[in-house]
Structure 1
Amino acid sequence: MPRRVRAVVAVTVAVFAYGTVVHLTQLYLGGLDPYPSMPGWLAVYFVSLTLLDPAAAVLLALRRRAGLVLGVVVLVTDALANAYANYVVDRAGGVTPGRVGQAVITALAVGLLLAAPRIAPWLSGRPLFRRPLADR
């Protein structure tokens, strides 16, 4: 795997690890309702990132194409969800910390989306777990 591809994968794994920490912290601090101002469906999505972010990180760290696909889906949907939260739910005007964060997530999503075709050939399409020989 070329250094540039390895670097992009490493940075992406770090981004998802950071996202995992953020969502776990929000769950810890927020208790049973970590996103009280969000509609229920959006709160469920943000809580689901507590599982989706580390799944994408682990799969990418294991050099699986499924991790790349999951990573792109998670970042794109996270950018859209944050856009909704920061521009529809939050009616504040101007630049807010949430809007800055949403811009960063959008940039990461676009970056990974553009890099994915160059990264995918270097990742394995093999399943994580192989069936026993007797089942093949």
Structure 2
Amino acid sequence: MGLSTQARGRGVALRPRLRDDDGAAVAEFPLVSVLIILIALAVIQAALILHTRNTLIDAAVQGAHHAALVGSTPDAGAARAEALIVDRFGESLGAEAVADVDEDGTVRVRIEATLPLVGLLGPAAGLQVEGRAIDEATW
């Protein structure tokens, strides 16, 4: 029992339409654009985190160098580091700096801050960096 001539005619006419890719771009564009946007947001997020980390490290080192000067205190170095962070980022990071001097004369400034997020997805952890300098009074 074969197909009727009319049914065969419809099947033959349907094959070129199934192989034709008209309208495929309409379906592909949303799929590809979502992936491109996600990759772009991930790159922006990574760049923002690296910039924040590098700026916090610089503030910690500058604070440690300030605290290591003759006549300065570790608290002055921590205050200098926090002032640099507020100048650069404002109060949005909630950064706190703590400074102390080791028994070998090394001044350490530790900064803890929250990571900035571009979107809702991303790390929810904090960032901790440290800067060190040798106290000039121990030379």
Higher alpha-carbon Rg? 2
TM-score, normalisation: structure 2: 0.32
Q: Which has the higher strand share?
A: 2
TM-score by length of 1: 0.33
Higher helix share: 1
